Amino acid sequence: MKFQRPKPLTYQETIRFHGHNGPFLALGYKLGKYINEKHKPKGIMDIIIKVKVKPNKPFTCIIDGLQCSTFATLGKGNMMLEKSRGKDITVFVAAGKRKYTYHITGKAMDICLGAEDLHKAARKIFRTPFSQLFNLSLP
């Protein structure tokens, strides 16, 4: 059975789901919105995502942003985690036969890790051009 995709969650709904606002949440949400625009999935299982991330807060907050914006979830099994030892975050995306790898840039990490005010840092993530936050590579 193929389920249709529901209406996307807003960022405010994503904050409510996660429990608070923050730059890693915004980073995941922004990447997920881009993935949806690029791949235009029709069903809830049309995208598979693997996130390579340090298994500690605040790094893992990116996962909730991705789940809320892409409908790929750990529970459904179309999102997986791979532990990283460093601070680098890599997101692997499979959409049909196409595969993409998104690397979080140093600028994005500086915004996230240098945040004194989580709300301001999240707004800065949304104001920063996508190309300054993510590097795309093809496997």
Domain range list for the chain: 11-137
Q: How far apart are CA 135 and CA 130, in angstroms?
A: 9
- What pLDDT, on the 0 to 100 scale, is given for residue 8? 80
- What pLDDT, on the 0 to 100 scale, is given for residue 107? 97
**Per-residue tokens: 46:** 């049309």
Q: How far apart are CA 8 and CA 37, in angstroms?
A: 12
- What pLDDT, on the 0 to 100 scale, is given for residue 139? 64
Q: What sign does the dihedral 44-47-48-51 (CA atoms) show?
A: negative
- What pLDDT, on the 0 to 100 scale, is given for residue 1? 61
- What pLDDT, on the 0 to 100 scale, is given for residue 43? 86
Residues 6+ apart with CB under 8 A from 128: 107, 108, 111
- What pLDDT, on the 0 to 100 scale, is given for residue 2? 67
- What pLDDT, on the 0 to 100 scale, is given for residue 16? 98
Yes or no: domain 11-137 corresponds to CATH 3.30.300.30? no
pTM for this model (two decimals): 0.94
Averages of pLDDT over runs of 10 residues in the chain (139 residues) are 76 97 98 93 91 96 97 95 94 93 97 96 98 90
Helix (H/G/I), strand (E/B), else coil: 104: strand
Cα-based distances in Å from 2 to 41, 80, 99, 123, 134: 12, 20, 22, 36, 31
**66 touches 51 (CB < 8 A):** yes
